[in-house]
Amino acid sequence: MARGVGSGEDLVVPDTPASPTIFVLFGATGDLAARMVLPAFYTLAQKNLLPKEWRLIGNGRGDVAHEDFRAKVHEALGNDVEEAEWEAFSKNLLFAGGGFDETGPGSLLDVIRDVEDELDDEVQPNFIHYLAIPPVAFESTAKALKKHGLTDHARVVFEKPYGTSPDDFRQLDATVHEVLDEEQVFRIDHFLGKEATQNLHVLRFANQTFSTAWHGDHVAAVQIDVPETLDVANRAGFYDATGAMMDMVVTHLMQVAAEVAMEPPLSLDAQDLQEARESVIAAFRPLSPDDVVLGQFEGYRDLEGVADDSQTDTFCAVRLWVDTGRWHGVPFLLRSGKRLGVSEQRVSLVMKPVEGPLPKPDRPSVITLSLAGSGSVAADFVLKQPGEGIKLAHVRQTLELETVPDADPLPPYVALLYDVLTGDRSLFTSSVGLEHAWRVADPVLKNKPALESYEPGSMGPAAAGELAAPYGWLVSGDGADGKSES
């Protein structure tokens, strides 16, 4: 068992979610809770992955009755909820209003006491506090948890972004570590929870063909590409304070780059995986402004909640260099943005052409992992086209992961919440790893390239194509899968 900082008591870390558990969902009536967190809790219940005894207490500023909160949760889950399953689930839902900060806990402590009276009084319940709140409230909420005695036997889940600048990250991290032990802190990154991201490990370490090819001797470039057709919708106020680089590149895509670039860990245990990610992020070269293209889609400043002179980037493309023996000289190309021509989530390894007697194909062979949905793995093959003479054919084979026998894929938030329950930190970012990521981004954050305007429905500023030369971005807006875009 691990000991929480300043708690004076042991933190219960079960191997399975068997202990009674009280979930406190801060920001329970917000957009993130409705879209991601509450549906994930419901899926856990359907799959019998919650403890035998549990309660979920929603928290917010408003004074909402338990029944009204249950109605909001039902609305968030949609119309596919079966009545019997909803009855079993909803009886565990409660609400504590009146806000929560150091000056006062609202009604939260009273509701918690009522729950504790109902649960098995012979077993100390675990607490999981989920902070689905704006990042500016992370520090004050962490302090309030300590102030009101809610850090014992507790784990705390922080949404992204965990800090909005290197200095802000360090201040937040110091505050959090004043009240919590690192083992109690779960910084969620749903990209690490995706089935295909996790399959990076197995594809690479269990298959000799891919393991041998996973090296700069064979790979010309790596692309981690997450374009989005969506705009910022009702998140304009939040998004305008962060932007594409901080919202996606620093928080998500650098972690995925670490999954691709890391050296083989000693095991797939949480500590070994985190150490492998931290080690390779430490080898990421600090970004140069020449390796970054920032853009803003036309019409962004007309959105409600966005300043007329906003300099927020809605597009970011990065050429990242990994200074390890395995990847020296291989560009890692990271791209994400709003209002682009297509929506994709892909990791692509562009393979070097084979030297030999055959003519070089007109496009490179690519190993691709789609991170969208349940994920897929695809690989290109150059074969002889059946028939007379030798004519080369470029063939792509795709395996949808959901078609794997006995597959039961978990959505990212479901998988990560289950890991929080079991105390498995394998797929969560560490304080050390994030410190390295902020170090990499710091030169560009201090000296940002000028924003380039781009038309909604395009694939972003033309300069981003130059970063990806000579192959161009493999995800293009012409609807053709795997063809490069200059």
Task: Name the DSSP class of 91.
Answer: T
More confident residue, 187 or 160: 187
Using 50, 70 and 90 to split pLDDT, how confident is the model at 12?
very low
Using 50, 70 and 90 to split pLDDT, how confident is the model at 2?
very low
Q: How many CA atoms lie within 13 A of 238 on its CB side?
A: 17
And the tokens for 271?
């500590």
Is 160 annotated as contributing to ligand binding? yes
Averaged over 393-420, what is the pLDDT? Answer: 88
Coil, helix or strand at residue 343: coil
Using 50, 70 and 90 to split pLDDT, how confident is the model at 267?
confident
- If we measure between CA atoms, which residue out of 175, 106, 171 comes closest to residue 143? 175
What CA–CA distance (Å, rounded) separates 189 from 110? 32
What CA–CA distance (Å, rounded) separates 347 from 329? 18
- If we measure between CA atoms, which residue out of 132, 160, 176, 172 comes closest to residue 242? 160
Is 61 annotated as contributing to ligand binding? yes
What CA–CA distance (Å, rounded) separates 248 from 265? 25
Q: What percent of the chain stands above pLDDT 90?
A: 59
pLDDT tens figures, 94-139: 999 998 999 999 999 999 999 998 887 777 889 999 999 988 899 9
pLDDT tens figures, 423-468: 888 888 888 889 999 999 999 999 999 999 999 999 999 999 999 9
Where is mean pLDDT largest: 264-273, 283-292, 473-482? Answer: 283-292
Is 190 annotated as contributing to ligand binding? yes
In total, the chain counts a number of residues equal to: 486
The predicted structure's pLDDT at residue 112: 95
Given a cut of 80, whether residue 382 has pLDDT beyond it is yes
| Bridge partner residues of 129 (DSSP) | 24, 156
Q: What is the CA radius of gyration of the chain?
A: 24
In terms of C-beta distances under 8 Å and separation of at least 24 residues, what long-range contacts does 70-76 make, across chains too? 72/29, 72/34, 73/38, 75/34, 76/33, 76/34, 76/35, 76/38, 76/39
The predicted structure's pLDDT at residue 151: 95
Q: What is the mean pLDDT of the chain?
A: 88
User: Backbone phi, then psi, for 394, in 5-degree steps?
Assistant: -100, 115
| Single-letter amino acid, residue 274 | Q
The answer as to CATH 3.40.50.1980 being correct for domain 2-187 is no
Is 195 annotated as contributing to ligand binding? no
More confident residue, 308 or 483: 308
- If we measure between CA atoms, which residue out of 315, 207, 196, 317 comes closest to residue 260? 196
Say how many C-beta atoms besides its own lie within 10 A of residue 477's C-beta: 16
Coil, helix or strand at residue 12: coil
Peptide bond into 161 cis (omega under 30): yes
pLDDT tens figures, 171-194: 999 999 999 999 999 998 888 888
Is 313 annotated as contributing to ligand binding? no
Using 50, 70 and 90 to split pLDDT, how confident is the model at 347?
very high
The predicted structure's pLDDT at residue 393: 83
- If we measure between CA atoms, which residue out of 240, 235, 340, 335 comes closest to residue 297? 340
Is 129 annotated as contributing to ligand binding? no
Superfamily of domain 195-467: Dihydrodipicolinate Reductase; domain 2 (3.30.360.10)
State how far the alpha carbon of 106 is from the alpha carbons of 64, 95, 99, in Å: 12, 11, 5
The predicted structure's pLDDT at residue 4: 32
Is 247 annotated as contributing to ligand binding? yes
**pTM for this model (two decimals):** 0.86
Please name the residue that has the structure tokens 């705009």: 231
Which amino acids are annotated catalytic?
252
The predicted structure's pLDDT at residue 126: 92
| Single-letter amino acid, residue 119 | L
Every domain of the chain with CATH number 3.40.50.720 lies at: 2-187
Which residues have CB under 8 Å from 422's CB, separation 6+? 14, 15, 16, 17
Asked whether the beta carbons of 211 and 202 are under 8 A apart, the reply is no
Say how many C-beta atoms besides its own lie within 10 A of residue 419's C-beta: 19
What CA–CA distance (Å, rounded) separates 35 from 76? 7
Every domain of the chain with CATH number 3.30.360.10 lies at: 195-467
More confident residue, 286 or 381: 286
More confident residue, 301 or 305: 301
The predicted structure's pLDDT at residue 485: 33
Given a cut of 50, whether residue 154 has pLDDT beyond it is yes
| Single-letter amino acid, residue 345 | Q
The predicted structure's pLDDT at residue 19: 80
State how far the alpha carbon of 209 is from the alpha carbons of 205, 266, 378, 380, 407, in Å: 10, 20, 14, 13, 23
Which residues have CB under 8 Å from 239's CB, separation 6+? 232, 247, 312, 314
What CA–CA distance (Å, rounded) separates 1 from 14? 9
| Single-letter amino acid, residue 84 | A
What CA–CA distance (Å, rounded) separates 147 from 102? 6
Given a cut of 70, whether residue 17 has pLDDT beyond it is no
The predicted structure's pLDDT at residue 3: 27
Given a cut of 90, whether residue 331 has pLDDT beyond it is yes
Q: Of 67-76, 147-156, 225-234, 310-319, which range is least confident?
A: 225-234
Using 50, 70 and 90 to split pLDDT, how confident is the model at 11?
very low
Coil, helix or strand at residue 3: strand
The predicted structure's pLDDT at residue 195: 82
CA dihedral (322, 266, 10, 132) in degrees, to 10, reads 40
